[in-house]
Chain A
Amino acid sequence: MLTPFYTRRSFLVTSGLAAAALAQGGLAGAARAATLAPTQSMRGGSNNYRPGAPLVDRLGSGFWVTGTVRDAASGAPLEGVRIQIWAATTLGGEREPRNHGSVLTAADGSFRLETEQIVPNFGQPHAHLAYDDGAFRTVFLRPVMPSARDTSVNADFVLARA
């Protein structure tokens, strides 16, 4: 007579063990979520950077640059962090001073800046964002818009203490 590959009892035992292992893994994952991998600077992110872009209410209208800033150590949102933003828009290229501005993050770590429409520059429609204020390690981002017709672009920062 053939012995079944597994019995109902062994199935219950193994599945119970598997569930326990999964649950533990899940808990460990949740504990690890508190420390996040810091965001790495992107290639070309710092191109045409002009340090100390002035804090502005807006740089134009019709296009939104959005994102969030969190602390890598705790995963908590960071408030009052300055993010510098620049891009080629209908006002001109990336070196045009009117295309450079800074915003501060809100209590939930979010930031947003309204600008003129971003236009393709050097072959890709993209924005530049920088955190460069010393308390955390400097990060330069260069998010690319999937389409030149997009009216927003998002970039999230996870910052590591300097």
Chain B
Amino acid sequence: MRPAMIWLCLLILATGPVVLAASSPFLAYRGPEYIAGGFAGIIALSLMLIQPLLAAGALPGLSLARARLWHRRLGGALIACTAVHVGGLYLTSPPDTLDALLLAAPTPFSVYGVLAMWGILLTGGLALLRRQIAPRIWRLAHNALALVVVAATVAHAVQITGAMELRSKWTLCLAVLGATGITLFRLRVLTPLRRRGASRG
């Protein structure tokens, strides 16, 4: 695929769901804190499509160093989105949000949202400790956390009836799972196999 096409596809996949959610009729019945909290969640889901592509250096026209820099920046944005998501929901309905955080909510998707939240916060903490941890261990922990966060976020998002338009939500979720799965498969399965093959030579 030509570079321009790749960037266009990414732009449509990542921003399409946000634009469609912005036209949801439900927004008219919600307060600003609920709307902000909801969109922070949708934007976080979109960022999860870009993150593995940046980490893998799969986006054309970006050096690996620049891609990694943006990966760190978007990682920070993910933490900010998570904070706005939970904070906005808390301002909208403290009891519902506390129930979710304490794993006592009646909604089956809440537990996945809380799991993703802790995964994102732990990933942020791990990023701060990068220099103190052996690279091999650090990468394994980061990859494992990324997988948990992505799987939990998708399980959270698809069960929610809300502002997101259904088809664009499922498309984005499958794209996020695909990008994460392929990147992790290359990093943790293909690359080690190739390396072993090369050393046997």
Query: Out of A46, A142, A148, which one reaches B161, CB within 8 Å?
Result: A148
Check if A110 is an interface residue, CB within 8 A of chain B. Answer: no
Contacting pair A122 B29 (CB below 8 A): no
Contacting pair A47 B93 (CB below 8 A): yes
Which residues of chain A are near B34, meaning CB under 8 Å?
A: 93
Query: Out of B26, B92, B93, B159, which one reaches A119, CB within 8 Å?
Result: B26
Bound CA span A88–B29, Å: 8
Min CB–CB distance B165 → chain A (angstroms): 13
Min CB–CB distance B156 → chain A (angstroms): 9
Contacting pair B161 A124 (CB below 8 A): yes
Check if B106 is an interface residue, CB within 8 A of chain A. Answer: yes
Q: How large is the interface on A (under 10, 10 to 19, 20 to 34, 35 or more residues)?
A: 20 to 34
Contacting pair B99 A119 (CB below 8 A): no
Which residues of chain B are near A43, meaning CB under 8 Å?
A: 99, 104-106
Is chain B's binding surface mostly helix, strand, loop or mixed?
loop
Bound CA span A43–B159, Å: 18
Contacting pair A48 B31 (CB below 8 A): no
Check if A125 is an interface residue, CB within 8 A of chain B. Answer: yes
A44 with B96, Cβ < 8 A, contacts A123-B162, A142-B106, A148-B161 known? yes
Min CB–CB distance A33 → chain B (angstroms): 29
| In the complex, per-residue mask of A118-160: 1 if CB is within 8 Å of any chain B CB, else 0 | 0111111100000000000000001000001000000000000
Bound CA span A91–B29, Å: 6
Query: Out of A44, A46, A92, A120, which one reaches B162, CB within 8 Å?
Result: A120
Min CB–CB distance A2 → chain B (angstroms): 58
Min CB–CB distance A97 → chain B (angstroms): 14
Contacting pair A120 B95 (CB below 8 A): no
> Can you list 16 A-B contacts with CB-CB less than 8 angstroms, sorted by A residue number?
A44-B95, A44-B105, A47-B99, A48-B93, A48-B95, A90-B29, A92-B31, A93-B29, A93-B93, A94-B93, A120-B26, A120-B161, A122-B107, A123-B159, A123-B160, A142-B106
Using a CB–CB cutoff of 8 Å, the interface residues on chain B facing chain A are 26, 28-31, 34, 89, 92-93, 95-96, 99, 104-107, 109-110, 159-162
Q: Which 7 A-B pairs have the closest CB atoms?
A: A43-B106, A47-B95, A123-B160, A44-B106, A120-B161, A122-B96, A90-B29
